[in-house]
Amino acid sequence: MPEYQSLYRKYRSQTFADLVGQDASSRALQGAIISGRVAHAYLFSGSRGTGKTSAARLLAKSLNCTGRARDSAEPCNSCDSCREITAGSALDLIEIDAASNRGIDEIRDLREKVNLAPALGPFKVYIIDEAHMLTEPAFNALLKTLEEPPGHVVFVLCTTDAQKIPLTVIGRCQQFVFRRHSEEQIVSRLSYIASAEKVQVDPDAMRLIARTAQGSMRDAVGLLDQLVPLASGPISLDSARSLLGIADPRLLDGLLDDVLAGRAEQALAELNRVYAEGAELRQVVRGLMEGCRDRLVAALTKHDQATARRLSGVLDALLHLDGEVRRHAEPRFLVEATLARLAVESEATPHPAAAPPTSPPRGEVTAPAASPSRGEVQVVAPVGGWNEVLEKLNRTVRAVYLDAQPEVEGSVLVLWFKYGFHHKKAQEQSAQLIPHVRAWLGDEVKIDFRLRENDAAKSVPRPASPEDDPFVREIVRRFDGRVTRVKEVSE
Ligand SMILES: Nc1ncnc2c1ncn2[C@@H]1O[C@H](COP(=O)(O)OP(=O)(O)OP(=O)(O)O)[C@@H](O)[C@H]1O
Ligand SMILES: [Mg+2]
Ligand SMILES: [Zn+2]
C-alpha cells in the first residue's frame, strides 16, 4: 500500500501557475528569472501558510532547472535537479530552519561553505525559514555574507514577522510581501484538491473551512486533510462542523441573544449544550465574535450609537477572551465566567442608551462624573465619519479598530484603546486605515494612537519617529549606519 502523503505536501505548488494568489510577487520573480536578473537575497514576508517556502523552492527549482524554456520561468519538474528538489534531496538547495536552534550552527556552517561551488546546477540557494528567529550573532554572520555574496548564491529569507529582522539585513534584500488568501481563493483551491482526490465536499462545508482557516492556505488544506479520512461519505456542512468542533451558528446566535439580554442563567445552559455537542471553546468564542461583529456593523449602519457601544464593549471582552482561552488551563470556566459577567452587565444596564458600565476614564477630557451623558459629548462629532471609515475597512482590519474611541483634536485624530493588544495591532495595520481617514479629515490629518491609562503603564510610549525607536537606534549604533528609508509595513 502506498504511504499516505498529506494533502498539504501533495499539493505544494510545483509551478508558478499553481501558486494561488501572490500575483505581484509571482510575476516579479518570474520576470527576474526569465531576464536573468535575480537578486542575491530576497525577503519573503507575510502571513503564515501563504506560500513563502513554496515560492522559495520554486525559485531554486527554476534557477537550476536544465529543462526550462528560455522564455518561461516555469521549472520542467522532470530534470534531475527538479526531481531532487521535489524529493528534498538536492545538494544545491540548503534549507535552514532558524526556529529549531536559532540558526547558530547553520549560519556558521553557511559561512564556511558558501564559497564552495554548487554541486550540480549553476546556483546554490539558501532558504532561511522563520528568519526572524535568528540570534544576533547569526544575523551578524549572515550580514557579512550578504555584503559580499558569491555570484552563485541566492538567499531567500522567509518570515512571518519582518519587523524582527534587522534593518541592515532588510536593506540588502529584495522584499516581497505574501498576502492572506481570500475565502474565494481558498474555496477554489479546496475544490480543485477535492476533485483531484475524488472526494465530495459540500460547498458550504468548503466555505466553513475557508473561514476557519483565516486566510492561511496551509491551514485550509490541513483542515481538509483532517476531514477526508474521518468522513465515510461525502463531507456535509454538519459533518465538517462537528469534525472541526465548530458550533452551529444558530445556537451561537441564541447564546449571544441570551448574553445581550442579560439572561445569565440561560446563557450558561446554552453554552453547556453547545459544548456538549462537541464544539471547541475557541471556535465558540470565535463564532460569538463573528456574530457580535455582524450585529455591531448593523448597528453602526443604522447609526444606533448606544447599541453599537454596548456591542463594541462585548466584542472587546470576547477578543480578550479569545487570547486567554489559548493559554488557560481551565478555558471552560473562563468562558463561563466571561459570558456570565457580560450577561449580568447587560442586565444591569437594560436601557440601551446607557453608557457601558466599563466606560474607561477619558484622560484629559474629563467631564463631571455625575453627568449622565458622560463621554458621549466628546465622541458625537467624529462618530459619523469614523463609522464610515470603519465600514470601508475589510473585516479583519476593521476588527482591530472597533475598540477604538475616536476624538478629533484640530487636525489630529486621536484613537483611544483599552487594550495594549489592540493598540499595538492598530498601529501595525494603520497603512490600511490612513487613506480612509484622509478622505474624511483631509490630507494633513495625523493619527495619534493612545492607550487608556490603566494599560498605558505597561507599554512603552511610541517614539515620535521610527528613528527614535530604541531598537532602531541600537541597530544604527551597532552597525555605524544611518536610516535611509522608512517603509510602512502593513502586515
Ligand atoms: N499560495 C499558495 N498556493 C497554493 N497552495 C498553498 C499556497 N500557500 C500555501 N499553500 C499550501 O500550504 C502549504 C504550506 O505552504 P508554505 O510552506 O509555502 O507556506 P509558508 O508561507 O511558508 O508558511 P509559514 O509562514 O508557516 O512558513 C503548501 O504545501 C500548500 O499545500
Ligand atoms: Mg514557510
Ligand atoms: Zn527541471
pLDDT of 490: 47
In this structure, the answer to whether residues 127 and 220 fall within a common structural domain is no
Q: Is residue 312 part of a domain?
A: yes
- Closest listed ligand to the CA of 75: 3
| Ligand 1 atom with minimal separation from the 189 CA | 4
Q: Is residue 362 part of a domain?
A: no
* Residue 217 Cβ contacting ligand 1 at under 6 Å: yes
Beta-carbon contacts of 419 under 8 Å, excluding residues fewer than 6 positions away, are 316, 319, 320, 403, 455
Q: Is residue 116 part of a domain?
A: yes
pLDDT band, residue 491 (cuts 50/70/90): very low
Lowest mean pLDDT among 39-48, 112-121, 390-399: 390-399
pLDDT band, residue 369 (cuts 50/70/90): very low
Lowest mean pLDDT among 43-47, 84-88, 404-408: 404-408
| Ligand 1 atom with minimal separation from the 48 CA | 25
CATH code of the domain in which 122 resides:
3.40.50.300
In this structure, the answer to whether residues 191 and 83 fall within a common structural domain is no
CATH code of the domain in which 206 resides:
1.10.8.60
Q: Is residue 272 part of a domain?
A: yes
| Ligand 1 atom with minimal separation from the 8 CA | 31
C-beta neighbour count of 474 within 10 angstroms: 11
Average pLDDT in the 316-331 region?
86
Closest CA to ligand 1's atom 25: 48
pLDDT of 483: 63
Secondary structure string (H, E, C) spanning 250-269: HHHHHHHHHHHCCCHHHHHH
In this structure, the answer to whether residues 295 and 172 fall within a common structural domain is no
Distance 165 CA to ligand 2 centre (A): 16
In this structure, the answer to whether residues 427 and 324 fall within a common structural domain is no
In this structure, the answer to whether residues 168 and 195 fall within a common structural domain is no
pLDDT of 244: 80
CATH code of the domain in which 270 resides:
1.20.272
In this structure, the answer to whether residues 37 and 128 fall within a common structural domain is yes
In this structure, the answer to whether residues 222 and 341 fall within a common structural domain is no
β-pairing, 124-129 vs 153-159, is parallel
| Count of the separate structural domains present in the chain | 4
Average pLDDT in the 345-365 region?
45
Helix (H, G, I), strand (E, B) or coil at 113: helix
In this structure, the answer to whether residues 209 and 318 fall within a common structural domain is no
Q: Which of 348, 375, 407 is the last residue of a domain?
A: 348
Residue of 7, 53, 192, 193 with the most ligand 1 atoms within 8 Å of its CB, for mutation: 53
Q: Is residue 427 part of a domain?
A: yes
CATH code of the domain in which 401 resides:
3.30.300.180
In this structure, the answer to whether residues 233 and 268 fall within a common structural domain is no
Q: Is residue 481 part of a domain?
A: no
Beta-carbon contacts of 117 under 8 Å, excluding residues fewer than 6 positions away, are 124, 152
Lowest mean pLDDT among 135-139, 266-270, 336-340, 484-488: 484-488
* Residue 47 Cβ contacting ligand 1 at under 6 Å: no
pLDDT digits (tens, 9 = 90+) for 424-463: 888 888 888 998 888 888 888 889 998 887 644 444 444 4
Q: Is pLDDT of 410 > 80? A: no
Please tell me which residue, 26 or 437, carries the higher pLDDT value: 26
Q: Is residue 353 part of a domain?
A: no
Distance 313 CA to ligand 2 centre (A): 36
Q: Is residue 359 part of a domain?
A: no
In this structure, the answer to whether residues 419 and 307 fall within a common structural domain is no
β-pairing, 41-46 vs 153-159, is parallel
pLDDT of 112: 82
Average pLDDT in the 462-474 region?
57
In this structure, the answer to whether residues 238 and 254 fall within a common structural domain is no
Q: Which of 348, 369, 399 is the last residue of a domain?
A: 348
Domain that holds residue 34: 7-178
Give the range with max mean pLDDT: 14-28, 127-141, 200-214. 14-28
* Residue 193 Cβ contacting ligand 1 at under 6 Å: no
In this structure, the answer to whether residues 174 and 187 fall within a common structural domain is no
Q: Which of 289, 323, 348 is the last residue of a domain?
A: 348
pLDDT digits (tens, 9 = 90+) for 290-309: 899 989 989 998 888 888 99
Which is nearest to 153 in space by CA: 175, 125, 181, 130?
A: 125
